[in-house]
């Protein structure tokens, strides 16, 4: 059973499996049943505990690869607090905002395996409990029992003087956290156990159920045909093991499921969790719908969207009634009196070639004094999306457009995002502009904000702009670039792009001199068959000078608007801050790099950026090492968050760590991001156009995860259709029985398990803090000896990506050194 729950649950005295409409018994434990989970505290006790700091709150993050491991950030955000096991999570799901407390002292559990004190340790297959590693502190839920099957391993090296240990960067959990938690939870230090120990924490309340409570998975008949439940319920098993399995009513299942269950073995269903009782390891669910066959793109995509709570339904009539009803729509004459008319200016868009929602445009006009008038012009979405309307409500709920590989789930109806708001070429459009007078070096001499009317003269792609940058003297002919408005020439557009590029280079150089940090992750792109929509090819997206050009001016506009809002409304400004990285994880990572001979300075964002760009070497694998290190140093980084300025008293907390600027916001993407609409309203109020609007903080992180999952889905299909695929790979991390690699050809990360390889054995050891695996390959013939292969971080290996028999699963198979896999 994937969740480790006992089978006796299936035949126990579980009185009902909720059918549609039967909800009266929900959350009432059956009499006489032993509780699995603790009852939640009352809201009043939680409020009091948070005020007294005897409780901690935070977003729950569950490890997708080891579902028993969960974390919440510590109150000072310097590290993660570890929550051990399903029971300790107390029915909370990934993303929920939870409240935790310390368990009673008699439930603190630590097991220190033999050999923890050794500086260098080693293992071979089968010599240690599954999942454990020598020198690791093996931790368990209270009462779990069997010491030979630990639930969680925190990898750490100990000696008699190092009681905190050196925790691997992938966990960020600190065994020295106990004294810290004593202070944070107002617990006396005198109660701390002697020696090395773990303070086990438990969820006692769910403040906000952020998880959608929906999951995709499969249905199965219960195994005990003699139980009462067999006649009423089936078992739903989610694909995501972080979600509990659930009883679902047979009445919700297909009519022939009982007689022909094998027909549905590969059918994906959506189930919504409706309850999870204190006395049951299993939740109660309700089947929502059948999606189709597992492994097919559209059913899998719909499942991803549903699980992450993305609203992909059609817009309702009351929403559509908020749109202009008289089409074709034209700008009302009175708007021209309120706006600066820029329709004669050379203004153009630069976007991906497939983009339809064009929400930003650029202009660059040389001035007689040798300076430039540069403008960033953003679609005036707030003109159409009025506050407190049905359209505003649905946009705020959707929060963002979701960009999948094959399509976009828009935040706004298509009439707005692809037509009336989109800055389409040779069409009059309403905009909000920031216009500067800049020196050729990018120094701001003057600045203006205001509502405008523009008429874009061209829709350039990044490829078009890049071609102009790479060929500055070339005279482009009409066939090489998109149609240009008759008011302007190809050469005028080309020169504007070149001038913007030169200024952007100066801005970028100055940003990094001032201390900015950039940690780029590889992004996979696909070419799709026009008829079937299936992936035909894939490639790593190249971030080029044309992308950097647009990025620099969008950053400049966002920073300018942040300052303008904060000057006018110091307590209402909707800003975006980026907290510093978790200090404990960062220190561990620095120590690890030092052991690898890499001196990384993490004292500031600037120091880290400079260190990473000096460290990679000059050979052909320098970029690969850079990607591995970038991935490592991305892990301690925290997420940027929106906030209202009045909610934080200390203005030093307003800073954006990666950009290294005091104030930042999002202004430039209102077609696809709701916070930008709120910023537009506040900016308008700061210019004297109406009162300040109501401000609310927001979070759109889940939608970013959906976009990553869409790419994962398409790549798994690509491996199945076009594989096996061979590539060089670089080792990113070494565990005691496995190692992670970055597949260089495709930019994907995979884990390779030693027990899946034809090995005679393997040996794990830590040389200081440097982990190393030695693989002993089986001889290819009786005359040969076993071949040894040493695996450590930055080792180059050859891998083959092969599709598994399970839908959407593929494996990286390590090739034998100098031979086949």
Q: What does CATH list as the number for 213-294?
A: 2.40.50.700
Percent of the chain with pLDDT over 90: 62
Alpha-carbon distance of 54 to 358, in angstroms, equals 50
Query: What is the pLDDT, as a whole number, of residue 447?
Result: 98
Q: Which pair of structure tokens corresponds to residue 411? A: 């935040």
Alpha-carbon distance of 796 to 729, in angstroms, equals 6
Pick the more confident residue, 569 or 768.
569
Query: What is the pLDDT, as a whole number, of residue 321?
Result: 96
Query: What is the pLDDT, as a whole number, of residue 155?
Result: 27
Residue-wise pLDDT for 140-157, tens only, equals 333 333 323 222 222 222
Contact present, 291 and 270 (Cβ < 8 Å): yes
Paired sense of beta strands 201-208 and 152-155, if any:
unpaired
3-state secondary structure 581-636: CCHHHHHHHHHHHHHCCCCCCCCCHHHHHHHHCCCCCCCCCHHHHHHHHHHHHHCC
The backbone region for 184, taken as left when phi is positive above 0, alpha when psi lies in -120 to 50, beta otherwise, is alpha
Residues 6+ apart with CB under 8 A from 203: 60, 83, 88, 89, 90, 91, 92, 98, 99, 100
Query: What is the pLDDT, as a whole number, of residue 82?
Result: 85
Least confident of 95-109, 117-131, 249-263, 624-638: 117-131
Read off the pLDDT of each residue in 178-196 and give the average, rounded to a whole number. 40
Alpha-carbon distance of 730 to 799, in angstroms, equals 10
Of the candidates 25, 606, 80, 592, the one whose C-alpha atom is nearest the C-alpha of residue 274 is: 25
Superfamily per CATH, domain 723-814: Nucleic acid-binding proteins (2.40.50.140)
> From 2.60.120.20, 3.30.450.40, 2.40.50.690, 1.25.50.20, which CATH number describes the 36-112+196-211 domain?
2.40.50.690
Alpha-carbon distance of 303 to 294, in angstroms, equals 10
Look at the block and give the residue holding tokens 């997420």: 639
Query: What is the pLDDT, as a whole number, of residue 591?
Result: 85
Alpha-carbon distance of 247 to 260, in angstroms, equals 19
User: Where are the domains positioned within the chain?
Assistant: 36-112+196-211, 213-294, 318-579+641-705, 583-635, 723-814
Pick the more confident residue, 690 or 203.
203
Read off the pLDDT of each residue in 28-33 and give the average, rounded to a whole number. 53
Band (pLDDT 50/70/90 cuts) for residue 701 is low
Least confident of 83-87, 133-137, 239-243, 679-683: 133-137
Of the candidates 799, 794, 789, 795, the one whose C-alpha atom is nearest the C-alpha of residue 763 is: 789
Contact present, 198 and 139 (Cβ < 8 Å): yes
Contact present, 703 and 639 (Cβ < 8 Å): no
**What is the largest distance, in Å, between two alpha-carbon atoms of the chain?**
91
Query: What is the pLDDT, as a whole number, of residue 230?
Result: 85
Domains 36-112+196-211 and 213-294 share a fold: yes
Q: Which pair of structure tokens corresponds to residue 164? A: 């905190």
Q: Is 252 among the annotated ligand-binding positions? A: no
Query: What is the pLDDT, as a whole number, of residue 770?
Result: 86
Read off the pLDDT of each residue in 347-351 and give the average, rounded to a whole number. 98
Paired sense of beta strands 458-461 and 347-351, if any:
parallel
Q: What is the DSSP code string of 484-520?
A: --TTS-HHHHHHHHHHHHHHHHHHHHHHHHTT----P
Q: Is 712 among the annotated ligand-binding positions? A: no
Query: What is the pLDDT, as a whole number, of residue 108?
Result: 63
∠ at Cα 35 (29, 38), nearest 5°?
A: 100
Mean pLDDT of the chain: 83
Alpha-carbon distance of 695 to 677, in angstroms, equals 11
3-state secondary structure 741-800: EEECCCCEEEEEEHHHCCEEEEEEEEECCEEEEEEEECCCCCCCCCEEEEECCCCEEEEE
DSSP 695: -
Query: What is the pLDDT, as a whole number, of residue 639?
Result: 87
Band (pLDDT 50/70/90 cuts) for residue 820 is low
Pick the more confident residue, 499 or 612.
499
Q: Is the per-residue pLDDT at 138 higher than 50? A: no
Q: Is the per-residue pLDDT at 317 higher than 50? A: yes
Least confident of 54-68, 241-255, 269-283: 54-68
CA 138 to chain CA mean position, Å: 29
Q: Is the per-residue pLDDT at 554 higher than 70? A: yes
Q: Which pair of structure tokens corresponds to residue 323? A: 């749109």
Alpha-carbon distance of 544 to 470, in angstroms, equals 11
User: For residue 139, with 0-12 CB atoms within 10 Å meaning exposed, 13-18 middle and 19 or more buried, which class applies?
Assistant: buried
Q: Which pair of structure tokens corresponds to residue 418? A: 């692809």
User: For residue 620, with 0-12 CB atoms within 10 Å meaning exposed, 13-18 middle and 19 or more buried, which class applies?
Assistant: exposed
DSSP 251: G
Alpha-carbon distance of 342 to 760, in angstroms, equals 74
Band (pLDDT 50/70/90 cuts) for residue 599 is confident
Cis omega (within 30 of 0) on the bond before 724?
yes
Band (pLDDT 50/70/90 cuts) for residue 36 is very high
Residue-wise pLDDT for 613-641, tens only, equals 887 777 788 888 888 998 889 988 988 99
Alpha-carbon distance of 753 to 804, in angstroms, equals 15
Of the candidates 397, 407, 240, 394, the one whose C-alpha atom is nearest the C-alpha of residue 307 is: 240
Band (pLDDT 50/70/90 cuts) for residue 807 is confident
Query: What is the pLDDT, as a whole number, of residue 753?
Result: 94
Q: Is the per-residue pLDDT at 11 higher than 50? A: no
Distances (CA, A) of 520 to 594, 598, 631: 22, 20, 9
Residue-wise pLDDT for 574-584, tens only, equals 999 999 998 88
Residue-wise pLDDT for 523-552, tens only, equals 889 999 988 899 989 999 999 999 999 999
Total residue count of the chain as it appears in this document: 821
Element (H, E) at 451: strand 444-455
Q: Is the per-residue pLDDT at 186 higher than 80? A: no
Element (H, E) at 811: strand 810-814
Phi, psi of 440 (to 5 degrees): -60, -20
DSSP 85: S
Least confident of 116-120, 341-345, 751-755, 814-818: 116-120
**Distance in Å from the first CA to the final CA of the chain:** 31
DSSP 2: T
Band (pLDDT 50/70/90 cuts) for residue 774 is very high
Query: What is the pLDDT, as a whole number, of residue 107?
Result: 67
Q: Which pair of structure tokens corresponds to residue 596? A: 């690898």
């Amino acid at each position: 059973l994937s969740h480790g729950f006992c089978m006796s649950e299936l035949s126990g005295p579980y009185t009902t499996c909720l059918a549609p409409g039967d909800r009266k018994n929900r959350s009432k434990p059956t009499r006489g049943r032993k509780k699995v989970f603790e009852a939640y505290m009352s809201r009043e006790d939680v409020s009091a505990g948070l005020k007294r700091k005897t409780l901690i709150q935070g977003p729950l993050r569950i490890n997708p690869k080891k579902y028993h491991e969960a974390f919440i950030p510590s109150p000072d955000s310097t590290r993660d607090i570890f929550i051990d096991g399903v029971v300790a999570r107390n029915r909370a799901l990934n993303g929920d905002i939870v409240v935790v407390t310390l368990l009673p002292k008699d439930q603190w559990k630590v097991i220190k395996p033999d050999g923890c004190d050794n500086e260098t340790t080693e293992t071979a297959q089968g010599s240690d409990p599954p999942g454990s590693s020598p020198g690791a502190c093996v931790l368990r839920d209270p009462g779990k029992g069997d010491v030979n099957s630990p639930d969680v391993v925190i990898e750490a090296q100990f000696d008699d003087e190092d009681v905190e240990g050196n925790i691997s960067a992938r966990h960020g959990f600190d065994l020295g956290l106990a004294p810290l938690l004593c202070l944070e939870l107002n617990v006396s230090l005198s109660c701390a156990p002697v020696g090395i120990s773990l303070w086990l924490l438990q969820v006692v309340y769910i403040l906000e159920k952020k998880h959608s409570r929906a999951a995709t998975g499969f249905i199965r008949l219960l195994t005990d045909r003699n139980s009462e439940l067999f006649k009423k319920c089936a078992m739903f098993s989610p694909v995501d093991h972080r979600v509990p399995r659930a009883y679902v009513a047979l009445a919700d299942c297909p009519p022939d499921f009982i007689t022909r269950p094998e027909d549905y073995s590969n059918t994906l269903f959506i189930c919504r969790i409706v309850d999870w009782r204190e006395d049951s390891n299993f939740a109660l669910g309700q089947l929502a719908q059948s999606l189709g066959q597992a492994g097919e793109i559209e059913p899998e995509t719909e499942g991803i969207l549903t699980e992450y709570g993305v609203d992909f339904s059609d817009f309702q009539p009351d929403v559509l009634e908020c749109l202009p009803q008289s089409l074709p729509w034209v700008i009302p004459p009175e708007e021209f009196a309120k706006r600066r008319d820029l329709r004669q200016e050379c203004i153009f868009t630069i976007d991906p070639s497939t983009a339809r929602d064009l929400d930003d445009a650029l202009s660059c006009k040389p001035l007689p004094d040798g300076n430039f008038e540069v403008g960033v012009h953003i679609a005036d979405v707030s003109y159409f999306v009025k506050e407190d309307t049905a359209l505003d409500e649905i946009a705020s709920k959707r929060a963002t457009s979701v960009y999948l590989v094959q399509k976009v789930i828009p935040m706004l109806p298509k009439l707005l995002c692809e037509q009336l708001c989109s800055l389409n070429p040779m069409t009059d459009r309403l905009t909000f502009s920031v216009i500067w007078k800049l020196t050729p070096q990018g120094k701001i001499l003057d600045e203006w904000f205001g509502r405008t009317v523009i008429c874009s003269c061209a829709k350039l792609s990044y490829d078009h702009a890049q071609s102009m940058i790479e060929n500055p003297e070339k005279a482009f002919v009409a066939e090489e670039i998109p149609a240009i408005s008759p008011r302007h020439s190809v050469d005028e557009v080309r020169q504007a792009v070149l001038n913007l590029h030169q200024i952007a280079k100066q801005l970028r150089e100055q940003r990094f001199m001032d201390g900015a940090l950039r940690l780029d992750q590889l992004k996979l792109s696909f070419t799709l068959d026009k008829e079937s929509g299936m992936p035909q090819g894939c490639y790593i997206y190249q971030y080029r000078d044309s992308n950097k050009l647009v990025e620099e001016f969008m950053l400049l506009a966002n920073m300018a608007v942040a300052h303008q809002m904060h000057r006018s409304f110091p307590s209402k400004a909707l800003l975006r801050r980026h907290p510093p990285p978790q200090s404990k994880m960062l220190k561990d990572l620095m120590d690890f790099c030092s052991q690898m001979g890499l001196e990384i300075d993490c004292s500031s964002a600037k120091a880290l950026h400079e260190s990473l760009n000096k460290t990679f070497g000059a050979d052909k694998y320098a970029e690969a090492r850079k990607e591995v290190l970038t991935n490592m140093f991305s892990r301690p980084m925290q997420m940027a968050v929106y906030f209202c300025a009045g909610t934080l008293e200390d203005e030093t907390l307003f800073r954006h760590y990666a950009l290294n600027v005091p104030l930042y916001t999002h202004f430039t993407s209102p077609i696809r991001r709701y916070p930008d609409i709120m910023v537009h309203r506040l900016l308008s109020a700061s210019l004297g156009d109406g009162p300040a609007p109501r401000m609310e903080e927001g979070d759109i992180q889940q939608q970013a995860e959906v976009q990553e999952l869409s790419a994962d889905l398409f790549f798994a299909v690509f491996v199945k259709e076009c594989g096996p695929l061979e590539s060089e790979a670089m080792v990113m991390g070494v565990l005691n029985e496995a190692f992670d690699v970055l597949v260089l050809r495709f930019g994907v990360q995979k884990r390779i398990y030693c027990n899946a390889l034809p090995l005679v054995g393997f040996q794990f050891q830590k040389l200081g803090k440097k982990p190393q695996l030695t693989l002993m390959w089986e001889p290819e013939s009786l005359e040969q000896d076993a071949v040894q292969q040493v695996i450590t971080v930055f080792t180059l290996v050859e891998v083959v990506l092969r599709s598994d028999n399970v839908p959407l699963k593929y494996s990286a198979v390590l090739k034998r050194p100098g031979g086949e896999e």
